[in-house]
Structure 1
Amino acid sequence: MSRRETLRVETSQPKARLDKFLQEHFPETSRGTFQRLIENGDVQVDGEQTKATHHPRAGEAITIEWPEPIAAEALPEDIPLEIIFEDDHLLVVNKSAGLVVHPAAGHATGTLVNALLHHCGDQLSGLTGIGGVARPGIVHRLDKDTSGCIVVAKNDPAHLALSAQFADRTTTKIYHALVYGQPSKTKYTVKEPLARHPVHRKKIAITPNGREAHTDFRVLEKLNHSALMEATLHTGRTHQIRVHLQHLGCPVVGDAVYGGRPARAFTQATGYTAPRQMLHAFSLGFDHPASGKRLTLEAPLPEDFSKTMDFLQVR
């Protein structure tokens, strides 16, 4: 069962935004974890859902619904991994499309976490379970059908330091996306707020009262009834790139959720059906948690992405 815990904000406690306030109260839990709990509605203030930017006031009751842990710890599985960078503190993986990041309902095995446990062995023993027993070392996520760069911590100090960088938005995240249609401009900035769809809860929608979301887009190459675009994330909301591209009228090629009419027009014009959503986390930049040195890692495009681009070349 999930566990509920309630805090009462005291008058003597310093002012801070909600996610930072909770992380200071529960130092063993990362700020990024609290941001996810808040976004999912598992943190309430005086019985109401709120945002991570809320500043708790004296007398308010903050209720945390801690998620139910996976009954058993994830087990090592010999799943091939493409390692981009690795040392004693962290590793960066080029995640393949179709690979779920961590065990969850419907995906108890065959995940990135299972592969990491096999690859790293005892190197993950320095983690005390900050991310939960099913998420050892996981700092951020990629959708199942999104490929590319993902960083994993090997110990608690690295996990906390990396999580703080994601929470403070000091990381650099650049994606490549194949999109339906050919955008009329070469550059776009989208700052439409995002929230759970009021009816279809697995979807994200643009809504005036949603959470801040900011993506910059740049057209890299125009293709047949499509284009290759670069997306730079300044926030990290669920489905952010996919929904912002839908808003521009050029959703991600192969996106079964947000493709809509442009997807149907594309298939009719080209006769091509993509094997998955063509979204790839191309580059990830962050400060090394031990040395402080800035690292920028790039993940080469996977074969299915390159083949789709080849098919769509203007001839």
Structure 2
Amino acid sequence: MSERIIIEHTVETTQGAMRLDALLAEISGHARTTVSGWIKNGEVTAVAANGRPLKTKASSKVSEGDKVSVDGTPPRDLTQIEAEQVDGFSIVYEDDDIVVVDKPTGVAAHPSMGWHGPTVVGALKHAGVEIATSGAAERKGIVHRLDVGTSGLMVVTKNEKAYTVMKNAFKDRTVTKVYHTLIQGLPDPVKGTIDAPIGRHPGSEWKFAVNEDGKPAVTHYELIEAFGPASLVEVHLETGRTHQIRVHFSALRHPCAGDLTYGADPMISANLGLTRQWLHAHKLGFDHPSTGDYVEFESPYPADLQFALDSLADGNF
């Protein structure tokens, strides 16, 4: 095991009023997720200039002269990708340049400090798919991501040319990304565009929110079917901000069913048998990075999402 990370630091004048997690990231050189783990695990202590012990929360503000100490666990080596069999994971299409996968819920796109579960990268390694592109070792070939709790289609590139072409395609917004989501209530209008910037939630380290200082985010939607307490909606993403669909519909007070993080009704979620947000990357289309031909793929609803729809359609809600 790597040696523990030991830090003794006295807060300087220019660091006064910083958040504790931001200070630790600055002085240690480690990611915010790593230092947040130290704080959560009780590996950080802080004492005021007068000797009084201080609370150590990620959001705690430090003052000049405070003494901050760390006896922290070293971060995981994310470059060591472990092959892992993932239930429900499937390869929809593969050639020399790309592999299109159907990702089940509970799977991250790639390893990260804050995630210890299965990943698309690990599942592909188990399937014997070779990825050879530049970038961080833990996310080679990854040109876009889906939330852990979101199921559906992802494309992963297998060589440098495909990686560059597809990265640019997502950046230039030429990729067709169609999601289906079950939202609470009935949107008004039933077809429209949500154009609202998204940034970090001011009260949570892990959430996002509509924020005037955020990055531009545009979501187009259209009603597919109304069930009374919930509506099935098709969504076309113009941008790809983190949690974009979830944040935008939450801001409209029509959160994705099952999405307790963004305000879904727990009773509705329980009645529909949902343990995650009803959100599925249903269709993915793009110009093939080598041939230039347009290709498109579709993914059926997984069992948990279909069960929720059937319950609504049968009037068993």
Using structure 2 for the length normalisation, give the TM-score.
Answer: 0.71
Matched, 1:86 2:94: yes
* Cα distance in structure 1, aligned partners of 2:76 and 2:163: 19
Q: Show the counterpart of 1:104.
A: 112
Letter in 2 for 1:294: Y
2:249 is aligned to 245
Partner of 1:174: 178
Distance between the aligned counterparts of 2:102 and 2:210, measured in 1? 30
SS class of match (2:85): coil
Q: What letter matches 2:215 in structure 1? A: R
Structure 2 CA distance, aligned partners of 1:140 and 1:120? Answer: 21
- Matching residue of 2:290: 290
RMSD of equivalent CA atoms = 2.1
Residues in 2 aligned to 1:198 and 1:238: alpha-carbon distance in whole angstroms: 15
The Cα offsets for residues 267-306 of structure 1, whole Å up to 9 and x where unpaired, read as 6xx8445121110001111111100111111111111111
Residue 161 (1) aligns with residue 155 (2): no
Query: After superposition, what is the alpha-carbon deviation per residue over 1:55-87, rounded to whole angstroms, capped at 9, x for unaligned?
Result: xxxxxxxxxxxxx99354202223353122111
Matching of residue 313 in structure 1 with residue 317 in structure 2: no
- Do residues 95 (structure 1) and 99 (structure 2) align? no
Tell me the distance in 2 between the aligned counterparts of 1:200 and 1:105: 18
- Distance in 1 (CA, whole Å) between partners of 2:162 and 2:144 is 13
TM-aligned CA distance change 1:272 to 1:209, over 3 Å: same
Distance 2:252 2:275 in 1: 23
Cα distance in 1 for partners of 2:161, 2:91 equals 21
Larger RCO (CA within 8 A; separation ≥ 6): 1
Tell whether the 8 Å contact from 2:259 to 2:278 is kept in structure 1 after alignment.
yes
Matched, 1:147 2:154: no
Q: Distance in 1 between matches of 2:281 and 2:123?
A: 19
What CA distance in whole angstroms lies between the structure 1 residues aligned with 2:117 and 2:204? 27
Match of 1:278 in 2: 278
Are the aligned partners of 2:285 and 2:296 in contact in 1 as well (CA < 8 Å)? yes
Asked if 2 retains the 8 angstrom alpha-carbon contact of 1:70 and 1:104, the reply is no
Cα distance change on mapping 1:217 and 1:248 into 2, 3 Å: same
Match of 2:260 in 1: 256
What do residues 218-242 of structure 1 show as CA deviations (whole Å, max 9, x unaligned)? Answer: 1100114101001100000011101
What one-letter code is carried by the residue in structure 2 that aligns with 1:99?
A: V
C-alpha distance in 2 between matches for 1:211 and 1:251: 20
Q: How far has the Cα of 1:259 moved from its partner?
A: 2.0
* Pair member with larger Rg: 2
Give the Cα separation in 2 of the matches to 1:276 and 1:291.
38
- Matched-pair identity in %: 39
| Aligned residue in 2 for 1:22 | none
Aligned to 2:53: none
The answer on whether the counterparts of 2:258 and 2:268 sit within 8 Å (CA) in structure 1 is: no
Residue identity opposite 1:86 in structure 2: E
Distance 1:71 1:217, change over 3 A: closer
Aligned-partner SS, 2:127 = helix
Q: Is the 8 A contact 1:178 1:279 kept in 2?
A: yes
Distance 1:314 1:187 in 2: 25
Structure 2: 5+ residue stretches without partners: 1-31, 33-74
CA distance in 2, matches of 1:265, 1:181: 14
Corresponding residue for residue 205 of structure 2: 201
Is the CA contact 2:183–2:231 (under 8 Å) kept in the aligned structure 1? yes
Q: 1: CA distance between counterparts of 2:193 and 2:96?
A: 38
Aligned residues: 241
CA distance in 2 between partners of 1:237 and 1:159 (Å):
20
CA distance in 2, matches of 1:120, 1:165: 26
Q: Flag the 1:100–1:175 CA change in 2: closer, same or farther, 3 A.
A: same
